[in-house]
Structure 1
Amino acid sequence: MIRDACPTDTPAIAAIYNPYIADTTISFEEAPVSVDAMRERIAAVQAAGLPWLVCEGEDGAIGGYAYATPWRVRHAYRFSVETSVYLAHGNAGRGLGKALLARLLESLREKGCHLAIAGIAQPNEASVALHEKLGFVKVAHFGEVGFKFGRWLDVGYWELRLQAPTSSAPPGTAAPPSAASP
């Protein structure tokens, strides 16, 4: 079952995430995230009106999570988000990541988001394959932008347009100024 995260999920979410910090270059964080800090992160995402989803098994265990954060802080970026998906150890290859990301994208479309961006530390063939299965296209590659475990790391960026291309402004926004102004 995929549902919105709630405060009682926070210890499980932190337990899923911290091994990515300690053992992989998938996350560029270098210190474990406390349960309290993770609770604050989840609350901030939800307060911004963005989804933080969990996949709960029949036994009640959280098998993974996905969320979106604002892409940048400047107001003009408000329709673009960065997506993240993390699975508990042993859950890769079972379709959970695809289900979580697909549901996240559906929720973002419903919220009127226009562009989803995924930053993927390289190499990470599984994450690249997951995103490309759902329509993401690689648009950038930055070399040696991170340094972890004694080595330089690259990050690739993939994007997915969530709404049909249009020349009109999103609902509730002012139209851009005319290019033919006097």
Structure 2
Amino acid sequence: MPPEPEEVQVRPGVEDDLTALTDLYNHYVRETAITFDTAPFTPQERLPWLLSHPVDGPYRLMVATDTGSRRILGYATSSPFRPKPAYATSVETTVYVAPDAGGRGIGTLLYKALFEALAGEGLHRACAGVTQPNDASTRLHERFGFRYVGTYREVGRKFDRWWDVAWYEKEL
């Protein structure tokens, strides 16, 4: 059953979230091709990632928690699209939802909060790569106005198979 909006709080991520965020991400590392990381991380290894997403600016980390248990249900980020200076007005966005929280609108709440936080940051474009197949992620991105721009074929190898990545973009 989907949570009522008041049952879920979306807020900026903080250092106290690091262990839970690492555990959530490691599920996707170990069990899926959604990320092309292949070895789980320790919280200490993920600390630079967390610190690269401050509470303001173009690179954000938004966390959804259950208001009762305060358990992390998912997170969304905006990160540098590419390291070269001319890309500074573009970000890559992503969403990870706890495996038992999928289909409950958590990704929608996270993206809504993320894009509201990014308004006024001088950004021009958001990009998102979606490992195929991933119908839920495709629907989420399309719901937020992302448009499909192309697929990189067999660009990732994980679990002894090749994976395609579909790319989407959205004007900010």
What's the TM-score, normalizing by structure 1?
0.86
User: Hey, what does 1:93 align to over in structure 2?
Assistant: 103
After TM superposition, give the deviation of residue 109 of structure 1 in Å: 2.0
Displacement over 6 Å in runs of 4+: none
Q: What is the DSSP-based 3-state SS (H/G/I as helix, E as strand, rest coil) of the residue aligned with 1:46?
A: coil
Counterpart-to-counterpart distance in 2, 1:118 and 1:34 = 25
Which structure has the greater CA radius of gyration?
1
User: Hey, what does 2:160 align to over in structure 1?
Assistant: 150
Residues 63-78 of structure 1: pairs in structure 2 closer than 5 A: 63-78=73-88
Counterpart-to-counterpart distance in 2, 1:110 and 1:83 = 17
Counterpart-to-counterpart distance in 1, 2:73 and 2:55 = 24
* Counterpart code for 2:118: L
* Counterpart code for 1:57: D
User: Hey, what does 2:20 align to over in structure 1?
Assistant: 12
User: Hey, what does 1:34 align to over in structure 2?
Assistant: 42
| Correspondence 1:114 to 2:124 | yes
Over aligned residue pairs, what C-alpha RMSD do you find?
A: 1.3
| Correspondence 1:44 to 2:25 | no
* Counterpart code for 1:60: R
- Structure 2 unmatched ranges of 5 or more: 1-8
Q: What is the DSSP-based 3-state SS (H/G/I as helix, E as strand, rest coil) of the residue aligned with 1:118?
A: strand
Q: Is the 8 A contact 2:80 2:92 kept in 1?
A: yes
* Counterpart code for 1:160: K
* Counterpart code for 1:52: L
Counterpart-to-counterpart distance in 1, 2:10 and 2:55 = 20
Query: 1:126-178 CA distances to partner (integer Å, 9 max, x unpaired)?
Result: 1001110111100011101010001111001000001xxxxxxxxxxxxxxxx
* Counterpart code for 1:8: D
User: Hey, what does 2:63 align to over in structure 1?
Assistant: 54
Aligned residues: 162
* Counterpart code for 2:12: D
Q: What is the DSSP-based 3-state SS (H/G/I as helix, E as strand, rest coil) of the residue aligned with 2:103?
A: coil
Larger mean CA deviation between 49-58 and 151-160 belongs to 49-58
* Counterpart code for 1:5: G
Identical-residue share of aligned pairs (%): 39
Aligned to 1:104, which of 78, 93, 114?
A: 114
User: Hey, what does 1:80 align to over in structure 2?
Assistant: 90
What's the TM-score, normalizing by structure 2?
0.90
Counterpart-to-counterpart distance in 2, 1:156 and 1:26 = 12
